């Protein structure tokens, strides 16, 4: 059964609204960036804005696949994250942002379509989690929200260090405030 995202109500609507809000905050940090700025380090960290958008896309996509294609024998593919925090040769910032938006659309549809957020999903084992765990689809969605919020804070610091842009100030400007 496919449900229109606009028709969602209750918990699903609330959870997706929070995720969309966190995505919006993250995407503010990406506004107006050049390809050069997207891959520039602005702090002592290796993190860049291009790398963060790539990482969030991969992370969200992997979690949604885990929900949609449960596999009781899955193991986390360490090779899949080798370059997950950086744009590499042949990857553009514009393409990374487009893929992030595609992942968001897929997540919305998956959450609308899943019959029950209480369904238990087997997680891939990993070096940091060698015993199989089972999470509800709800907990996975909450984890995606946490991951997005966590890296949104990183992004804000990186952007402010790059050119002084600030998410809070931009939100105020979007609301018509003058500074």
- The rounded Cα 157 to chain-centroid distance in angstroms is 17
Q: What pLDDT score was predicted for residue 79?
A: 81
Number of Cβ within 10 Å of residue 36's Cβ equals 9
| 151: Cα within 13 Å, side-chain hemisphere | 25
Give me the sign of the Cα torsion angle 156, 159, 161, 164. negative
Mean pLDDT of 96-105: 98
Q: What is the pLDDT of residues 14-35, one digit of tens each?
A: 999 999 999 999 999 999 999 9
Residue, of 6 and 113, whose pLDDT is higher = 113
Q: What pLDDT score was predicted for residue 4?
A: 46
Q: How confident is the model at residue 6 (pLDDT cuts 50, 70, 90)?
A: low
pLDDT above 70: residue 172 = yes
Q: Domains (ranges, CATH) in the chain?
A: 5-168 (1.20.120.450)
Two structure tokens written together for 178:
């003058």
Q: What is the pLDDT of residues 44-82, one digit of tens each?
A: 999 999 999 999 999 999 999 999 999 999 999 888 777
3-state secondary structure 63-128: HHHHHHCCCCCCECCHHHHCCCCCCCCCCCHHHHHHHHHHHHHHHHHHHHHCCCCCCEEECCEECC
Query: Which residues share a beta bridge with 19?
Result: none
Residue with tokens 């209750």: 10
Query: Which residues share a beta bridge with 136?
Result: 120
Number of Cβ within 10 Å of residue 29's Cβ equals 25
Residue, of 77 and 143, whose pLDDT is higher = 143
């Amino acid at each position: 059964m496919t449900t229109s995202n606009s028709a969602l109500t209750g918990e699903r609507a609330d959870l997706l609204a929070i995720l969309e809000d966190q995505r919006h905050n993250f995407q503010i940090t990406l506004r107006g960036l050049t390809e050069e700025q997207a891959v520039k380090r602005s702090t002592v960290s290796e993190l860049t804005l291009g790398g963060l958008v790539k990482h969030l896309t991969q992370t969200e996509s992997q979690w949604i696949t885990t929900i949609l294609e449960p596999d009781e024998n899955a193991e986390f593919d360490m090779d899949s994250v080798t370059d997950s925090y950086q744009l590499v040769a042949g990857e553009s910032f514009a393409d990374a942002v487009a893929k992030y938006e595609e992942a968001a659309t897929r997540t919305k549809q998956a959450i609308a379509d899943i019959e029950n957020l209480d369904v238990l999903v087997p997680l891939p084992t990993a070096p940091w989690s060698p015993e199989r765990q089972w999470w509800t689809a709800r907990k996975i969605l909450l984890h995606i929200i946490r991951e997005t919020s966590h890296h949104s804070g990183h992004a804000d610091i990186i952007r402010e260090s790059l050119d002084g842009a600030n998410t809070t100030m931009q939100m105020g400007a979007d609301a018509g405030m003058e500074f």
